C-alpha cells in the first residue's frame, strides 16, 4: 500500500480525479498540518496541489519516510527549502504540461508587435480607416533565454513561422551548431551576443540564484532599438527597473509580460499605462483544462512511482530546475 498526502483545499473538484488511483492507496487530503498527523509517519509521497506552496515545508518536516514530492506547477522558486534539497526524496514538477500554451503566447506576442495590433484596435475604436505598414516575422531572429521545455515550444512555433532561432541554455552542446528546433544553441557566456543579434527575445528561464536579474541594464543596452522582449519564465529573471527605463525611454520597441517581480502587479504600476507593453496577468498557460492536464500527469507519475519505474521531470534540487 502506498501512502499519499495531498496538500489542497479538500473542496477542489479536481480532486475527484484521484478516484482513479488504486483502491488500496492510503490518501489524506487537507490544507492544515493537523489533517496529516495520522498519515505523516508512514507517508511515502506528497502531492503539492496548493499553488502557494505555503504548507509544503511544514508538512514535509512531518514525514520521515517520504520518498517523492510532486508539485502541479512548473516553477519551483517558491517550493525549494534546505530540508527538501538535502533529503534523498525525489522532487518532480509539471514541466512540459504547460509548454505548448506558453509557446503559443510567445508567438502571439511577437505577432502582436510585428503587426501592431494595438494600432489596429485603436483605429477601429476611433472609426478611422488608417492603413499602415506591418512587419514580417519570417527571416527575423528570435533569441530564447532558457531552452528547456518552454523554450523548445517557443522555438517550434517560431521555426514554423520561418524565424531564425538562437537559444541559450545552461548546458550547451560541446560543438557549435543547432538542433531540430534552434539554428544555434549557446551557453550563458554567449547571452549578450545573442541578445545583440535578436529582433525578439523570449525569456523562458526558471528563477534560480544564477538567473535572478540576468537580463539587466547591460542586456537592454545591447538590444536593437526595434527589439521586443517577452517574459514567460519568472519575473525576477529580468531586472524590472532596467526594463522599465528601456521601455519608457523607448530604447526598445516593446515588451510582452506574463510574469512580474510582484504579483499581482500593484495598482498604479507604470506598466499599465505604457503603450509599448502587453500585459498578461500570469495566465498565459491557463487553458480551460490546465488543472485537469496537471492532474492527469500526476496520476501517470503515481503509477510509475508505485511500480518502481523511473519518474518523469525529476528536478535537480540543487540547481532548482
Predicted TM-score of the model (pTM):
0.94
User: What integer pLDDT is reported at residue 51 of this predicted model?
Assistant: 83
State yes or no: is 210 an active-site residue: no
Q: How confident is the model over 202-214, as pLDDT tens digits?
A: 999 999 999 999 9
- Report whether pLDDT(53) > 90: no
Domains and CATH numbers, the chain: 3-97+288-307 (3.40.50.720), 99-279 (3.40.50.720)
User: What integer pLDDT is reported at residue 175 of this predicted model?
Assistant: 74
Closest CA relative to residue 183, chosen from 137, 145, 142:
142
- Report whether pLDDT(56) > 90: yes
Task: Point out which residues pair with 238 in neighbouring strands.
Answer: 215
State yes or no: is 171 an active-site residue: no
Q: How confident is the model over 250-290, as pLDDT tens digits?
A: 999 999 999 999 999 999 999 999 999 999 999 999 999 99
Q: How confident is the model over 216-251, as pLDDT tens digits?
A: 999 999 999 999 999 999 999 999 999 999 999 999
User: What integer pLDDT is reported at residue 77 of this predicted model?
Assistant: 86
- Report whether pLDDT(300) > 90: yes
From the list 282, 296, 304, 306, the catalytic residue is: 282
User: What integer pLDDT is reported at residue 68 of this predicted model?
Assistant: 98
User: What integer pLDDT is reported at residue 52 of this predicted model?
Assistant: 83
Query: Which triple of cell numbers denotes residue 98?
Result: 504547460
- Report whether pLDDT(174) > 80: no
- Report whether pLDDT(176) > 80: no
User: What integer pLDDT is reported at residue 54 of this predicted model?
Assistant: 87
- Report whether pLDDT(177) > 90: no
Please tell me the least confidently modeled range out of 106-110, 115-119, 173-177, 303-307. Answer: 173-177
- Report whether pLDDT(73) > 80: yes
Using CA atoms, how far residue 201 sits from 53, 155, 166, 216, in Å, is 30, 11, 9, 13
The more confident residue out of 320 and 279 is 279
User: What integer pLDDT is reported at residue 171 of this predicted model?
Assistant: 85
Residue written as cell 536593437? 224
The 3-class secondary structure across the chain, one letter per residue, is CCEEEEECCCCCHHHHHHHHCCCCCEEEEECCHHHHCCCHHHCCEEEECCCCCCCHHHHHHCCCCCCEEEECCCCCCCCCCHHHHHCCCEEECCCCCCHHHHHHHHHHHHHHHHCCHHHHHHHHHHCCCCCCCCCCCCCCEEEEECCCHHHHHHHHHHHHCCCEEEEECCCCCCCCCCCCCCCEEECHHHHHHHHHHCCEEEECCCCCCCCCCCECHHHHHHCCCCCEEEECCCHHHECHHHHHHHHHCCCCCEEEECCCCCCCCCCCCHHHHCCCEEECCCCCCCCCCHHHHHHHHHHHHHHHHHHCCCCCCECCCCCCC
User: What integer pLDDT is reported at residue 190 of this predicted model?
Assistant: 96
Residue 100 buriedness (CB in 10 A; 0-12 / 13-18 / 19+): middle
Give the separation between CA 256 and CA 243, rounded to whole angstroms.
Answer: 11
State yes or no: is 234 an active-site residue: yes
User: What integer pLDDT is reported at residue 78 of this predicted model?
Assistant: 83
From the list 20, 37, 210, 263, the catalytic residue is: 263
Amino acid at each position: 500500500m502506498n501512502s499519499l498526502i495531498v496538500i489542497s483545499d479538500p473542496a477542489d473538484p479536481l480532486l475527484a480525479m484521484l478516484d482513479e488511483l488504486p483502491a488500496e492507496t492510503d490518501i489524506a487530503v487537507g490544507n492544515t498540518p493537523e489533517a496529516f498527523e495520522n498519515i505523516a509517519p508512514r507517508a511515502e509521497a506528497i502531492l503539492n496541489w496548493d499553488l502557494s506552496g505555503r504548507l509544503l515545508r511544514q508538512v514535509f518536516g512531518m514525514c520521515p519516510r517520504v520518498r517523492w514530492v510532486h508539485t502541479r506547477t512548473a516553477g519551483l522558486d517558491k517550493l525549494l527549502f534546505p530540508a527538501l534539497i538535502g533529503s534523498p526524496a525525489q522532487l518532480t514538477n509539471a514541466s512540459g504540461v504547460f509548454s505548448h500554451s506558453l509557446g503559443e503566447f510567445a508567438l502571439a506576442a511577437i505577432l502582436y508587435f510585428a503587426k501592431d495590433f494595438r494600432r489596429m484596435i485603436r483605429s477601429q475604436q476611433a472609426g478611422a480607416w488608417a492603413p499602415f505598414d506591418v512587419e514580417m516575422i519570417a527571416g527575423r531572429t528570435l533569441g530564447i533565454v532558457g531552452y528547456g521545455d518552454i523554450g523548445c515550444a517557443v522555438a517550434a512555433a517560431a521555426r514554423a513561422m520561418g524565424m531564425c532561432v538562437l537559444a541559450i541554455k545552461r548546458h550547451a552542446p560541446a560543438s557549435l551548431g543547432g538542433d531540430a528546433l534552434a539554428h544555434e544553441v549557446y551557453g550563458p557566456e554567449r547571452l549578450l551576443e545573442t541578445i545583440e543579434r535578436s529582433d525578439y527575445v523570449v525569456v523562458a528561464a526558471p528563477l534560480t540564484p544564477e538567473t535572478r536579474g540576468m537580463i539587466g541594464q547591460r542586456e537592454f543596452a545591447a538590444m536593437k532599438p526595434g527589439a521586443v522582449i517577452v517574459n514567460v519564465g519568472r519575473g525576477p529573471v529580468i531586472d524590472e527597473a532596467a526594463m522599465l527605463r528601456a521601455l519608457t525611454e523607448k530604447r526598445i520597441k516593446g515588451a510582452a509580460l506574463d510574469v512580474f517581480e510582484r504579483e499581482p502587479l500593484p495598482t498604479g504600476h507604470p506598466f499599465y499605462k505604457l503603450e509599448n507593453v502587453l500585459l498578461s496577468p500570469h495566465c498565459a498557460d491557463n487553458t480551460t483544462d490546465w488543472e485537469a492536464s496537471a492532474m492527469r500527469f500526476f496520476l501517470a507519475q503515481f503509477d510509475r512511482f508505485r511500480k518502481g519505474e523511473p519518474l518523469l521531470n525529476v528536478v535537480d534540487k540543487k540547481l532548482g530546475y
